[in-house]
């Protein structure tokens, strides 16, 4: 009987230790994800993304507001956007979200992965 009780005692401690380790890892990841905007120069990334979009589309982009989003989906959102070419408005939208891959962005490369109207 005593051997069984001592095995249960150690197994319980191991499970509690694993649970605390998982809790620590999950909270560390959440803290890191939510603190990224405060550790990075988001304006520089916004300018890089904006420049890349203009070069790829060959359109002049005018907007009233833009915002970088890191979590849950990394990208940039534009509000009240007008796209024009040679002075003619090609498209006008209230809001556009452009999704980018975060890892290439950290090295200065823009990888557009989606556009949502």
- Do 28 and 48 lie in one domain? The reply is no
| 66 vs 97: CA distance, rounded Å | 9
CA distances from 43 to 12, 51, 109 (A): 49, 12, 15
For the entire predicted model, the pTM comes to 0.57
Residues 35 and 54 in one domain: no
Q: What is the pLDDT of residues 55-98, one digit of tens each?
A: 888 888 888 888 877 777 888 888 998 889 888 999 899 998 98
Domains contained in the chain, number: 2
Same domain, 54 and 107: yes
Instruction: Using only the alpha carbons of the chain, give its radius of gyration.
Output: 23
Residues 46 and 23 in one domain: no
Mean pLDDT of 5-21: 84
Question: Average pLDDT, stretch 98-109?
Answer: 78
- Asked if 14 and 64 sit in the same domain, the reply is no
- Give the structural domain span for 28: 1-39
Residues 89 and 100 in one domain: yes
Which CATH number belongs to the domain containing residue 101 in this structure? 3.10.450
The whole-number average pLDDT for the span 29-33 is 78
Band (pLDDT 50/70/90 cuts) for residue 26 is very high
């Amino acid at each position: 009987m005593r051997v069984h009780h001592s095995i249960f005692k150690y197994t319980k401690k191991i499970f509690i230790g694993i649970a605390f380790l998982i809790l620590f890892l999950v909270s560390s990841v959440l803290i890191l994800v939510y603190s990224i905007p405060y550790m990075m120069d988001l304006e520089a990334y916004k300018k890089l993304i904006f420049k890349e979009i203009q070069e790829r589309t060959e359109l002049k982009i005018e907007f009233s507001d833009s915002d970088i989003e890191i979590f849950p989906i990394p990208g940039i959102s534009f509000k009240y956007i007008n796209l024009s070419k040679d002075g003619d408005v090609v498209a006008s939208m209230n809001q556009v979200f452009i999704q980018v891959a975060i890892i290439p962005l950290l090295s200065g490369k823009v990888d557009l992965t989606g556009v949502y109207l």
